[in-house]
Structure 1
Amino acid sequence: MEIKPFLVERFLNAYEQNAEINIAETGIEPFTLSELLTIIGEENFFDELKKIKLTYGFIEGSSELRREIANLYEKMPPENILVAGGAIGANFLVFYSLVEPGDTVISVFPSYQQLYSVAESFGANVKLLRLREENSWLPDINELIEMIDDKTKLIVINNPHNPTGSLIDVKLLKEICAITEENNAYLLCDEAYRGLYIKPDDAVPSAADISERAIVTGSFSKVFSLAGLRLGWIATHNREVIEELKIHRDYTTISNSIIDDALATLALKNMQKILERNLKILQTNHKILSNWIENEPLIDWIPPKAGSIAFPQYSLELPSEEFCIRLLREKGALLVPGSCFGLEGYFRIGYGCKTETLIEGLSRLKDFLNNYR
């Protein structure tokens, strides 16, 4: 099986450890274990954990964890939740289980590369539904309709969107779901950033709560600041899909760590405390970044509505990879080049970090830009 290099992961693997200031991180500032347990009032958690026998644990995730994840949706049965190794593992399992050579897969672009390159590697005919800045980085329904053919198996979206932070509202999401149903296809919606809204009134329901043809994936990495757990999940009201996923999952994953399972369950039970901390960071940093861009003539953007990332455009005659590598080498600050998402003249910035990290990173970016005025 031939597969293209995962550009964003290759770039970060090469440069992330050399950054003094990392403003490429995509989630909200990660917890230390001590900070997490203090915030949720469970400082004695590890005393109880010492009693756990280190077996393989729960094949599909513990019943308690699956019940807590199911509560994130409307009337979702816990047995329709499948725990996976992060959202990346969840997405891969969906492609591995459903996509066959010759199937048509329609995926938004730019996007997290996994959402189109994996299907392509499995022999699918991948059509890219291009998101455009002039359309606020949102999918065009008419273009989607034109792309559908009689072999369309899967439509793939990412909401909130990586790398732009755009948000498909409920009206547009329902239209996409309706088109999926009319063509007897499936909708895969990566919802790793769901819950991170700049304005609470912009909250959007899960695609899984709109259509039984929708399969959604989630993660503990972004919203919960627990990337180190390496846990995600799949949710769908479609029992046939869940059973198919289970069959394929047996060949990739026996189980996830029971320690990670216990911590994830604890986090979900205390979700509001975690969200209070994380939304404060997100909304504070969004204002700082917005003000900075408003006063920086070499940078422009479509302001993100959700998630903890943005995709600004810069007005310099430099390829994006060169732009980011020079910034790192000269100023010690890390961004992700737009070329990792197939677009030049842009970079991805993460603003879920500590506020002082963002401020320092933007200061170094301004110093770098001053060399080109």
Structure 2
Amino acid sequence: MIVINNPNNPTGVPIPRDLIDKIVDFARARDIIVLSDEVYRPLFHDGIENNPNMPPSVADLGYEKAIVTGSLSKAYSLAGIRVGWIASRDKAIIERLAEARHYTAISVSQLDDQVASYALSPAVRGPLLKRNIDMAKRNAGMVKAFVEQHSAICSWVAPTAGTTAFVQFRSEGKPVDDVAFCRDVLDKTKVFFVPGSHCFGRGEDFAGYVRVGFVGSSAVLAEALQKLAAYVGQNLGQ
């Protein structure tokens, strides 16, 4: 099985169409299942209408052994109702997944089901996504301004989708100990990050990187970035 995450968490960067095509072609030639986690789709910061940089869902590429997961938790800001979906063109895969589901969750509540149906209705889905995309784009811009202002000690690949960013912090030209950094920032500022090497690199890769969740109240994010600026000025020399 090949597992991909698109748009990516934690970087917030989508896998481009040409690379997705290569992955699917590789899998098709070898009869390999492709599992694409697309819970942040369609939260693309440039919108979903006439956006040439928005890659297709793997479900739309015609490969029978593709499995796609989606959710109302991320792009639709409805994590509380715990509703998501799995899609595949392979009936046997869906039947096996349905059998497994019977052992974990027989059904969602009728109330959650009604909220999900309402959120995905034609009259609501568009405005709801626009609200969330606008918020994501605005807040990503705030994080971008911080990174550019402190470019001597932090860097990233700017996110263009989703609600997270992956930022590397450095001290004296070397990556910080991201676990210790996150703990110290939390202790001194109450700003919470996820250490990249510990959570995504098995303690070996992504040294100095932290996962930043930036979608929520813009006022809260502004306050957090202000506190972080004061912290790095005092502790990282900028």
Q: State the TM-score, normalizing by the size of structure 2.
A: 0.89
Q: Structure 2: 5+ residue runs without aligned partners?
A: none
| Aligned partner letter, 2:138 | T
Contact 2:169 2:176 in 1 (8 A): no
Check if 1:252 corresponds to 2:94.
no
Q: Which amino acid aligns with 2:38?
A: E
Asked if 1:301 corresponds to 2:153, the answer is no
Q: Which runs of 4+ in 1 moved over 3 A?
A: none
SS state at 2:35 partner: strand
Q: For 2:127, which of 273, 277, 286 is the aligned residue?
A: 273
Q: Could you say which structure has the greater relative contact order, defined with CA pairs below 8 angstroms and 6 or more residues apart?
A: 1
Amino acid of the residue matched to residue 155 of structure 1? I
Deviations 1:339-372 (A, max 9, x none): 2112321000011111111111111111110112
1:340 aligns with 2:188: no
1:86-235 map, 5 Å:
154-200=1-47, 201=51, 202-210=53-61, 211-235=63-87
Give the gaps of 5 or more residues in structure 1: 1-153
Matched, 1:354 2:213: no
Is the aligned partner of 1:321 residue 2:176?
A: no
Cα distance in 2 for partners of 1:156, 1:364 equals: 37
- Partner Cα separation in structure 1 for residue 146 and residue 232 of structure 2: 13
User: How many matched pairs?
Assistant: 220
CA displacement 1:198-224 (0-9 Å, x = unmatched): 223222211011122210000111100
Letter in 2 for 1:163: P
- The separation in 1 between residues aligned to 2:73 and 2:118, in whole angstroms, is 15
* Shift in Å, 1:321: 1.3
Query: CA–CA distance in 2 between the matches of 1:227 and 1:250?
Result: 22
- In structure 2, C-alpha distance between the alignment counterparts of 1:289 and 1:312, rounded to whole Å: 10
TM-score by length of 1: 0.57
Deviation at 1:156, TM superposition (A): 0.3
Shift of 1:264: 0.5
Q: SS at 1:353's partner residue?
A: coil
Percent identity, aligned pairs only, is: 38
The answer to whether the Cα contact below 8 Å between 2:135 and 2:215 also exists between their aligned partners in 1 is yes
Once residues 253 and 280 of structure 1 are traced to their aligned partners in structure 2, the CA distance between those partners, rounded to angstroms, is 34
Tell me how far apart the structure 1 counterparts of residues 54 and 90 of structure 2 sit (CA, whole Å).
24
CA displacement, residues 82-141 of structure 1 (integer Å, 9 cap, x when unaligned): xxxxxxxxxxxxxxxxxxxxxxxxxxxxxxxxxxxxxxxxxxxxxxxxxxxxxxxxxxxx
CA distance in 1, matches of 2:17, 2:90: 21
Question: Matched residues in 2 for 1:275 and 1:358: separation?
Answer: 20
Pairwise CA distance, 1:292: 1.4
**1:288 Cα shift?**
1.5
Aligned to 1:284: 138
Shift of 1:294: 0.7
